[in-house]
Structure 1
């Protein structure tokens, strides 16, 4: 065989194998397109179901009512500080002087809050509110006893105290 014929045969083999791969590729593409169409249809059904769900209907009514009062929802991440963040948000939008809260906390180590600036970040507001809540609970223990002790065993619910006082070791105990 001449080298030209060998090149021709090799080229034809490549074409044949390329055709087989492209047919398989076309089948895969067709299958993927079909699967994508099914997923899109399923997502559309889910979104339609969600838009008609009780939660969605309730949210629409709530947003309409809030809009009429010139109010809006404020999303707070549920990260363990959500109570303090929501209170902090309300204090900030009402321009409450948050530095006055610091004076209400009796601390054994007041330098802890030295890094708090005039323009408070939400993290700093949460820190102040957490300290204030812990301080108030500890100073008014009698008011909180039913919530701080297990009614069955009488044992202290240390989880509540440690959760509330997270990062508040410098408060008077």
Structure 2
């Protein structure tokens, strides 16, 4: 019984750690969103405040549901355990009870099933919502350029994975880990170019050098969401323009000073529950593979 209780505590501790990490990644993402909005754009700032509140509320609700689900699963497992013990006292020659390891696997499967069901429900609800409208607009914009979206996983690395995918088309094999490492190193060595655009979310003050160092460390070692600052660094590292196509705004190009053909990313504001997401693109027609410079 004591061992089973320890297992339950371990699972709850792991979930709490995961949720803390997600909160940290969300704050990094929110910071990137704030940095992308000019301070004198009051309308967009107001919209950003509402978006941030929704992101935080959605995450808080999801975390609460995860904890409740874990508690329910633990209670159900304990009930099953008690029922098996009673049965063993009364009946003979019964099959052995389910192992604790199997119960843990069953709990994990139940949590994953519930998550998939929530995603499926969200997909249905959003069929004619903001995501659908955004996707339709992007499809039209890309089709006019003989392009289509190439889906990238939503795991915190999406911007770097989209860049990685674009570079593969030019036979430039750089991994996500390498892109993150080079981005952080470039930003560290050009701190004066990036520090003015980063502010402490609690105080509103510009990052200190120590906070900036921690920010760059997170770029390397976590799934911190990448934004315009990181794209600017990557354009310098690769000496290549990076074009970001959006549904409701003209494309943004960083690194215009470089003569190479731009890498192309698609920015989606309503792609997933947490909001922003980057995808890559692929061509609708065959073209000659280009070597990177």
Kindly indicate whether structure 1 or structure 2 has the higher relative contact order, using CA contacts under 8 Å at least 6 residues apart: 2
Larger Rg: 1
TM over 0.5: no
Could you tell me the TM-score, scaled by structure 1's length? 0.44
Could you tell me the TM-score, scaled by structure 2's length? 0.28
